Amino acid sequence: MGSSPSAAATFAAAARIVEGVARRGQSVDAATRDIPHAASSAVRAVALGTLRWYLRLLPALRRLLRDPASVTPRLESLLTVAAHQVVYARTAAEVSVNAAVDATRLIGVPRAAPLANAVLRRFVRERAELFAELDQSLPVRTAHPDWLVQRLLDAWPRQAPAMLEANNEHPPMVLRVDRTRTARHAMREELRARGIESREIQWADTALELARPMSVNELPGFAEGRVSVQDAGAQLAPVLLDARPGERVLDACAAPGGKTGALLEHTPGIHLTALDLASERVVRIAENLRRLGREARLVTADLRRPQDFWDGQPYARILLDVPCSSTGVIRRHPDIKLLRRPGDAAAFARQQGELLHSALTLLAPGGRLLYATCSVCPEENEEVVGAALAAESKLRVAGFPPHAPRPPGAQPRPVGLQLLPGADAGTDGFYYACLEKTTA
């Protein structure tokens, strides 16, 4: 975290991040690099909030501009940042307008100060009428791109309205407790003694949901790895994989290692290989495991090229947590709404099919593979798994372990299980399917 910037400096840094995401297609993390003050939690919160509501705020602001095309991307981003504060923050509107006017100088467009002032003052006065009209459109009201709203309605006609709403909520901070070191109820007491309230999630026996998000640096037990931050839906992975001590297990798309740590805590004694394509992300796995005090064999390689890393010994269990559209985690990464394009799910599906095919060649007969995504698009989930089942004669669907919990509102699919944002379980969106290689 940096030092606390002024309101104008916060707006200026947030506007640069918003511009990077909305106009240059960068992720928030990429857009944040090299921007003064961008690491400050205040800047991040303002930028994420603006991105969350960008597709509602921008049409309203554009109605107030005589020539929207003449406004530079950075100024437009600054206007959305200020408009977000006006609509969604407790700060007095006047203060936000003044901060935005001051910020024009900081983003290099001082001559736009009068325009920013006029447009934002009108926005403050006229926003109720503007939104009364614009909000008639579901994509604008929920600040999602039209095509994504249509996809969600097609795939999930009943659930889509709740999903769209949930995507705009502030996500809960959920901890995973390493129960080999601290019982969950003891961890809850330890938190309470520090004034940190939490609740146990009934169906996820390692999960504690904090009443309020906080910095991990202030969490007791975090530095020594007794707790980690992980959505409750992700905490299902080790239960569904159902590995046994002594087994050879492959975490095939492992970085940054969230589920790697969960697997080792759930089943100490497995021989775990954690593999990822991206070397800088393998470093993150190493850091995570160091904090947890756990060990795995770390490999930087392309899963699609087993000849580069495989010793020929099959794995009894494989977790395949593939790259995906991330449409299940929009509430945590609102930039996804602006970064995804209509063809992305199909492109991910092709990659996912290749990764699944390769992973299956490494699986022992009788072995179990858990396919996982944080996508809510059937194209990347049951359709990828269905195509593999049709193509590979020695593959069959394996049931989930009998002791595996069923999160409230989880949707059984033709193959596998879908957790949806907005369902009663309150998790991110995840898809899981268990597959087994036959011994015949």
Ligand X SMILES: C[S@@+](CC[C@H](N)C(=O)[O-])C[C@H]1O[C@@H](n2cnc3c(N)ncnc32)[C@H](O)[C@@H]1O
Q: Where are the beta strands (DSSP E) in 166-205?
A: 174-177, 198-200
Q: Is 238 in the site for ligand X (CB under 6 A)?
A: no
Question: How far is residue 135's CA from residue 113's CA, in Å, rounded to a whole number?
Answer: 29
Among 214, 278, 346, 391, which residue sits at the site for ligand X (rule: CB under 6 A)? 278
Question: How far is residue 296's CA from residue 234's CA, in Å, rounded to a whole number?
Answer: 19
| CA dist list (Å): 218 to 41, 191, 227, 229 | 15, 10, 12, 13
Question: How far is residue 370's CA from residue 368's CA, in Å, rounded to a whole number?
Answer: 7
Cβ neighbours for 69, distance < 8 A, ≥ 6 positions apart: none
Q: Which is nearer to ligand X, 243 or 355 (CB)?
A: 355
Q: Which is nearer to ligand X, 183 or 278 (CB)?
A: 278
Q: Which is nearer to ligand X, 18 or 324 (CB)?
A: 324
Q: Is 257 in the site for ligand X (CB under 6 A)?
A: yes
Which residues from 309-348 bind ligand X, rule CB under 6 A? 321, 323
Q: Which is nearer to ligand X, 243 or 255 (CB)?
A: 255
Q: Is 247 in the site for ligand X (CB under 6 A)?
A: no
Among 47, 253, 318, 336, which residue sits at the site for ligand X (rule: CB under 6 A)? 253
Q: Which is nearer to ligand X, 146 or 280 (CB)?
A: 280
Question: How far is residue 391's CA from residue 301's CA, in Å, rounded to a whole number?
Answer: 25
Rounded to the nearest whole angstrom, what is the least distance from the CB of residue 281 to ligand X in the complex? 5
Rounded to the nearest whole angstrom, what is the least distance from the CB of residue 416 to ligand X in the complex? 16
Q: Is 256 in the site for ligand X (CB under 6 A)?
A: yes
Among 149, 173, 254, 377, which residue sits at the site for ligand X (rule: CB under 6 A)? 254
Question: How far is residue 176's CA from residue 20's CA, in Å, rounded to a whole number?
Answer: 33
Rounded to the nearest whole angstrom, what is the least distance from the CB of residue 101 to ligand X in the complex? 42
Cβ neighbours for 191, distance < 8 A, ≥ 6 positions apart: 197, 198, 208, 210, 219, 220
**Torsional sign, CA 149, 42, 429, 272:** positive
**Per CB under 6 A, which region of 15-23, 214-222, 256-264, 423-431 contacts ligand X?**
256-264
Q: Tokens 């009663």 correspond to what residue?
A: 424
> Do 187 and 177 meet the contact criterion of CB atoms below 8 Å apart?
yes
Rounded to the nearest whole angstrom, what is the least distance from the CB of residue 352 to ligand X in the complex? 10
> Do 398 and 435 meet the contact criterion of CB atoms below 8 Å apart?
yes
Q: Tokens 């399917």 correspond to what residue?
A: 433
Rounded to the nearest whole angstrom, what is the least distance from the CB of residue 374 to ligand X in the complex? 7
Q: How many other β-carbons are positioned within 10 Å of the β-carbon of residue 147?
A: 13
Rounded to the nearest whole angstrom, what is the least distance from the CB of residue 373 to ligand X in the complex? 7
Question: How far is residue 313's CA from residue 425's CA, in Å, rounded to a whole number?
Answer: 39
Instruction: Tell me, residue by residue from 90 to 119, as one string, x for binding to ligand X by CB under 6 A and - for no binding.
Output: ------------------------------
Among 83, 303, 356, 377, which residue sits at the site for ligand X (rule: CB under 6 A)? 303
Q: Is 122 in the site for ligand X (CB under 6 A)?
A: no
Cβ neighbours for 409, distance < 8 A, ≥ 6 positions apart: 419, 420, 423, 424, 425
Among 181, 281, 291, 413, which residue sits at the site for ligand X (rule: CB under 6 A)? 281
Rounded to the nearest whole angstrom, what is the least distance from the CB of residue 174 to ligand X in the complex? 14
Among 163, 207, 255, 435, which residue sits at the site for ligand X (rule: CB under 6 A)? 255
CB contact burial 178-189 (16+ within 10 A = b; e otherwise):
beebbebeebbe
What are 332's two structure tokens? 């945590």
Among 304, 341, 394, 406, which residue sits at the site for ligand X (rule: CB under 6 A)? 304
**Residues annotated catalytic, as ranges:** 374
Is 376 in a helix, a strand, or coil?
coil
Rounded to the nearest whole angstrom, what is the least distance from the CB of residue 323 to ligand X in the complex? 4
**Per CB under 6 A, which region of 154-162, 240-248, 298-306, 404-412 contacts ligand X?**
298-306
Residues shown for the chain: 440
Instruction: Tell me, residue by residue from 135 to 174, as one string, x for binding to ligand X by CB under 6 A and - for no binding.
Output: ----------------------------------------
DSSP letter for 182, please: S
Q: Is 276 in the site for ligand X (CB under 6 A)?
A: yes
Task: Find the radius of gyration of the CA atoms of the chain.
Answer: 23
Q: Is 185 in the site for ligand X (CB under 6 A)?
A: no
Rounded to the nearest whole angstrom, what is the least distance from the CB of residue 76 to ligand X in the complex? 32
> Do 238 and 262 meet the contact criterion of CB atoms below 8 Å apart?
yes
Amino acid letter, 371: Y
Nearest Cα to Cα of residue 27 among 338, 349, 342: 338
Q: Which is nearer to ligand X, 371 or 400 (CB)?
A: 371
Q: Is 39 in the site for ligand X (CB under 6 A)?
A: no
Q: Is 258 in the site for ligand X (CB under 6 A)?
A: yes
List of residues contacting ligand X (CB under 6 A): 253-259, 275-278, 281, 302-304, 321, 323, 355
